[in-house]
A and B are shown apart, each in its own frame.
Chain A
Amino acid sequence: MSAPRPSIELAQAVRSGARAAVDVVGEHLAAIEAGDGAVHAFNLVTAEQARDQAAAVDRMVAEGGDPGPLAGVPIALKDNLCTRGVPTTCSSRILEGWLPPYDATVVTRLRRAGAVVVGKTNMDEFAMGSSTEGSAFGPTHNPHDTSRVPGGSSGGSAAAVAAGFAPLALGSDTGGSIRQPAALCGVVGMKPTYGTVSRYGLVAFASSLDQIGPLATTVADAALLFDVIGGHDPADSTSLNRPSPRVLSVLDDGVAGLAVGVLTEFLEGAAPDVVARVREAAEACAAAGATVQEVSVPVVHLGLSAYYLISPGEASSNLARYDGVRYGLRVDAEDTVAMNTATRSAGFGAEVKRRIMLGTYVLSAGYMDAYYNQALRVRTKTIEGFDAAYACCDVLLGPTSPTTAFPLGSKTGDPLAMYQSDVCTIPSNLAGHPAISIPFGPGDDGLPVGVQVLGPALSEGTLFRVAAVVEAAAPPLLPLGSAGEVRS
């Protein structure tokens, strides 16, 4: 059986002339208009440009041309991806009103593939957060239950896909910011191998960890989107100069003969209903011909600590550029240092300030060896730990998030509690490895559970094959808005 692929079918209908891109895009803009008041997935809806772009796609089809594999498919972009002449805020006051003078490479590739950008999605400020409550423009609500968070930091992108505002979205993942919101919103989200997708035009948070990746309603749609955005880009010096793995073409190859390891440490801290879903997914892999065993990678316990030393360190350096000189907010003062300080103090929110402070501290003389350098050594041990596991397993399986979506406001007063929701996603970023989250039915509270498949560098083909088998076995999610009834 072939995996479901709504975006791919939509593009085929547009390319064949069976459907007009303007109608497809118009329907999605109408859905946003009707539903985004309750969800707040978008910082900006680019309705007029989207209609113009859709009309251009239709003209090309009428003239006998092929607009590409994503012809007429609406896509939502996280608001840290630069779009020329279109506001890109990172959900921060410090970049409010900024119009980037260039497009991110992924945006250029999407347009060449015929995709139509419908808007820029809400996020935790500068992608620092796990609930989208860190946005300067107010939180996004989970479409399954608007009293719950959508996860973060790509919460707007995940919510937009879950709510049917766009069948595809892009997010960025530094410590789980694609996969965790995908899990909490019941959609597919994938972090590629570091270097397979260009970061040119992605506003930097922690440069050695950041990767752009796809969110979609199905595994096949995410596969196509990854194929479109991946590949070498000379504009990003960390872009791998080798062919990106192609995944759509291998999607239906099955898992017979693959070795799947269930990652013990990820199960230990997870809620019982989430653990049960992971075990069901493992059974589905076994039923499809894979061998399944439990595997331990003890060093992943240290991932959270290492990440919250490394990523703030890199962030404190990257965010030094917001100084009120070249773009964004300026708060005037009598001299330049006072202006820099006034601008940054007014422009950054609390979590961004916390991370800049933490990063400045762990990089400062006297503390660098105890904290930052130790974290870099843990990073080495993390890679070695995964290498040992991948000597006997093709992929690892675990939860994406230890719990389902938590109530809005429940963790905002306790940063460390918020950080814990990334415990299962961070290790892949430290290692530079790919991982994908697939929705796997509701938990006991009726909210979506995400199952995560992890693999070694450049194993995207294998990862997507396993994801397709997991998806095919997944129990259906409850209809949007009905999770509350389950609990009452």
Chain B
Amino acid sequence: MAGPARLTRDEVVHVAALARLELTEEELDLFTVQLAKVLDHAADVSFLDLAGVPMTSHALAMTNVLRPDEVQPCLDRDEVLAQAPSVEDHRFRVPRILGEAP
């Protein structure tokens, strides 16, 4: 199969936004070069003809794990909330979310 085109700086900018990372100009330059190098190395995989080979997302056969729907002890709410950066009325508090870009 044909491999993808080389990674561009604009794509790095786009991916950073998807990953909720803000990179400096220097980081963008550096990562563009470094990530392209890693992806070039991965070309041996992307160019292989593996049509018909099944994908393995998990090395060992996995099945759904179920348990009876019974009440069990869970983490202590106050102990969990004590680790949060901001809490209000026993809930996690975050800055404004309305009106932002989707």
Contacts and interface: CB of A to CB of B under 8 A. Distances in A.
Interface of A: 98-99, 101-102, 193-195, 208, 234, 237-238, 240-241, 301-302, 304-306, 308-309, 316, 320, 323-330, 332-342, 344-345, 348, 350, 353-354, 356-358, 360-361, 364, 366-367, 370-371, 373-381, 383, 415-416, 419, 430-433, 457
Given A357-B31, A377-B53, A367 B4 contact: yes
Contact of B34 (A98, A309, A337, A415): A415
22 contacts: A101-B80, A194-B59, A208-B57, A302-B45, A306-B45, A309-B45, A326-B80, A326-B84, A327-B84, A327-B85, A328-B85, A335-B96, A335-B100, A336-B97, A371-B4, A371-B42, A371-B45, A376-B57, A377-B55, A378-B50, A416-B38, A431-B59
B22 A339 contact: no
B57 A337 contact: no
Contact of B56 (A336, A345, A379): A379
Nearest to B93: A325
B57 A344 contact: no
A329 B100 contact: no
B20 to A, nearest CB: 5
Interface in B39-64: 39, 41-42, 44-46, 48, 50, 53-60, 62
Q: How large is the interface on B (under 10, 10 to 19, 20 to 34, 35 or more residues)?
A: 35 or more
B25 interface: no
Interface of B: 1, 3-4, 7, 11-12, 15-16, 18-23, 27, 31, 34-35, 37-39, 41-42, 44-46, 48, 50, 53-60, 62, 65, 67, 75-76, 79-80, 82-86, 92, 94-97, 99-101
Given A330-B85, A336-B97, 15 more contacts: A208-B57, A238-B62, A309-B45, A327-B84, A328-B85, A336-B94, A336-B95, A338-B95, A341-B21, A353-B23, A357-B19, A361-B15, A361-B35, A371-B4, A415-B38
A381 B44 CA distance: 14
B42 A432 contact: no
Nearest to A369: B1
Given A240-B60, A353-B23, A415-B34, A334 B95 contact: yes
A358 B35 contact: yes
B34 to A, nearest CB: 5
A375 B19 contact: no
| Main secondary structure on A side of the interface with B | helix
B41 to A, nearest CB: 6
Given A376-B55, A380-B55, A432-B60, A354 B31 contact: yes
A358 B12 contact: no
B50 A374 contact: yes
B72 to A, nearest CB: 10
Contacts of B41: 304-305, 308, 416
A374 B43 CA distance: 10
A360 B84 contact: no
Interface centre among B38, B57, B80, B101 (most CB of A within 10 A): B38
Given A237-B65, A430-B59, A356 B19 contact: yes
Contact of B20 (A337, A350, A358, A430): A337
Nearest to B97: A336
B99 to A, nearest CB: 8
Contact of A380 (B1, B23, B53, B80): B53
A341 B22 contact: yes
Contacts of A377: 48, 50, 53-56
A326 B54 contact: no
A200 to B, nearest CB: 13
Given A101-B83, A381-B53, A308 B15 contact: no
A427 to B, nearest CB: 11
A325 B94 contact: yes
In the A-B complex, list the 9 residue pairs whose CB atoms are closest, starting with the nearest. Answer: A432-B59, A330-B85, A376-B55, A377-B50, A379-B56, A377-B53, A305-B45, A237-B65, A345-B22
B27 A353 contact: yes
A208 B59 CA distance: 7
B45 A378 contact: yes
A357 B4 contact: no
Interface centre among A324, A334, A348 (most CB of B within 10 A): A324
Given A240-B60, A431-B59, A340 B20 contact: yes
B19 to A, nearest CB: 5
